[in-house]
Amino acid sequence: MISYTFVRFSSECRGILRVSPNSTLKTTFIRKPWNGAVFSTSKFVQTEKEHNTKFVKSNLAERLVNGSPKEMQPYLKLIRMDRPIGTWLLFWPCGWSVTLAAPAGSFPDIGMLGLMLAGSFVMRGAGCTINDMWDKKIDQQVERTKDRPLASNQITTLNAWVFLGAQLSVGLLILLQLNWYSILLGASSLGLVVSYPLMKRVTYWPQLVLGLTFNWGALIGYSAIQGYCDWSVCLPLYAAGVAWTLVYDTIYAHQDKYDDAVVGVKSTALRFGESTSKWLMGFSLITATGFTIAGINADQSWPYYMAVLATNAHLIYQISTLKINDRESCAKLFKSNRDIGAVLFLGCVLGTWCQ
């Protein structure tokens, strides 16, 4: 029996028509996503500019980018300076570990937190540059990303390489402010930074590689304070961060799954399909467990565990309200993960201070 499914896809077009047997959806979707006839894909997807206008309120970062000299704007957009959510998601694991490494009864080192924030901003920008260089041809075929500076030829590939070199040089200068243990630890993450954009071509789990990359700061932050990693604290914290990334980036990936399927790009959104909520609940359990174990091994006090409960409640809320075929829902829930990181960071600060 043939079923017709209408999916809300954008404000201009309420849905796309997909024809596929129910049995196909249940049994072959994971191996062959969108195997049925798809009668529209990218032409109904909003461009990144339209997406930002609709879903993102004007903020200081956007005003700075839009008010900068015209020749600078493509480079600022290349590093997503107008979309700072990625910097925050990269910074929070650093902030958690710096705070957990602080002496009992004290506040975290403000100077070190500032250094970690600066490093997160620079390396996130470098990661975006690498991603756009690797994905230039793909971005040109996806409506939401076709206006990115490299995809739209606002920046040449040569200039992108020079710009990337400058970013990595600044990142190295920041890294050299740390102890040698942390320098070596930070340098070891470059393989993940470079390889992540390629993973979507070979595996349905690129979000896992992103998690391994984005949460490296859970190791570096601790070692930057203590000169070593207490693995009983750092490993569960790192695992929790990786699982958390799988939650929020799978939600993010659902925004582009239609174009991804046509272009040939893989993601956990396509891998999980209609079972996404069950998978995300499992990752949320790993996240809560990892945070709890890290807190116990770091001798944290009650404010920390209250923050863990709050973050877990927020994850459950995200999953229970997620509409995987509604781009607006996915966008809003993805961005709310900045608040999860902030709540846990506050819990780390108060938990260490109350020890």
CATH number where 82 lies: 1.10.357.140
Residue tagged 């006090």 (tokens): 301
Indicate the DSSP class of residue 34: T
Name which residue leads in pLDDT, 153 or 21.
153
pLDDT of residue 58: 60
Q: What is the mean pLDDT of the chain?
A: 84
DSSP β-bridge partners for residue 21 = 2
SS3 category, 68: coil
Number of C-beta neighbours around residue 225 at 10 A: 20
Question: How many CA atoms within 13 Å lie on the side-chain side of 163?
Answer: 24
Average pLDDT on 40-67 reads 58
User: What angle is formed at CA 226 by the lines to CA 223 and CA 232, rounded to 5 degrees?
Assistant: 70
Q: Is residue 25 part of a domain?
A: no
Per residue in 151-177, pLDDT tens? 888 999 999 999 999 999 999 999 999
Name which residue leads in pLDDT, 158 or 59.
158
Whether the pLDDT of residue 304 is over 80: the answer is yes
Whether the pLDDT of residue 232 is over 50: the answer is yes
Q: Is residue 320 part of a domain?
A: yes
Q: Provide the total of helices (H) and of strands (E) in the chain, helices listed first.
A: 19, 3
Q: Is residue 55 part of a domain?
A: no
CA 264 to chain centre: 21
CA 176 to chain centre: 26
Q: Report the range of poorest mean pLDDT among 28-37, 131-140, 179-188, 298-307.
A: 28-37
Among 45, 78, 107, CA closest to 331: 45
Structure tokens at 353: 């201070």
Number of domains in the chain: 1
CB 179 within 8 A of CB 242: no
pLDDT of residue 22: 37
CB 340 within 8 A of CB 314: yes
pLDDT of residue 241: 97
Q: Is residue 51 part of a domain?
A: no
pLDDT of residue 18: 37
Torsion over CA: 42, 43, 47, 51 (sign): negative
Residues 6+ apart with CB under 8 A from 140: 146, 151, 152
Residue tagged 């925004």 (tokens): 255
pLDDT of residue 54: 46
Q: Is residue 84 part of a domain?
A: yes
Reported residue count of the chain is 355
Q: What percent of the chain has pLDDT over 90?
A: 65
Average pLDDT on 275-300 reads 96
Whether the pLDDT of residue 246 is over 70: the answer is yes
pLDDT of residue 29: 39
Among 250, 327, 252, CA closest to 46: 327
Q: Report the alpha-carbon distance of residue 56 to residue 12 in Å, rounded.
A: 18
Q: Report the alpha-carbon distance of residue 94 to residue 100 in Å, rounded.
A: 10
pLDDT of residue 57: 52
For residues 228-246, b (16+ Cβ closer than 10 Å) or e, as one string? ebbeebbbbbbbbbbbbbb
Per residue in 60-89, pLDDT tens? 888 888 888 899 999 999 999 989 999 999
In one letter, which amino acid is 113?
L
Distances from the Cα of 255 to the Cαs of 81, 102, 122, 243, 313, in angstroms? 21, 39, 26, 20, 23
Torsion over CA: 62, 68, 71, 72 (sign): negative
Q: Is residue 26 part of a domain?
A: no
List phi, psi (to 5°) of 3: -115, 140
Q: Report the alpha-carbon distance of residue 248 to residue 227 in Å, rounded.
A: 31
Average pLDDT on 4-19 reads 36
Q: Is residue 11 part of a domain?
A: no
Ramachandran quadrant class, 301 (left: phi over 0; alpha: psi -120 to 50; beta: rest): beta
pLDDT of residue 121: 96
Q: Report the range of poorest mean pLDDT among 30-44, 64-78, 97-111, 297-311.
A: 30-44
Whether the pLDDT of residue 248 is over 50: the answer is yes
Structure tokens at 208: 């896992």
Whether the pLDDT of residue 23 is over 50: the answer is no
By residue range, what is the domain housing residue 317? 65-254+272-354
Residues 6+ apart with CB under 8 A from 314: 336, 339, 340, 343
Q: How confident is the model at residue 19 (pLDDT cuts 50, 70, 90)?
A: very low
Q: What is the dihedral of CA 215, 216, 221, 223, to 10 degrees?
A: 140
Q: Is residue 110 part of a domain?
A: yes
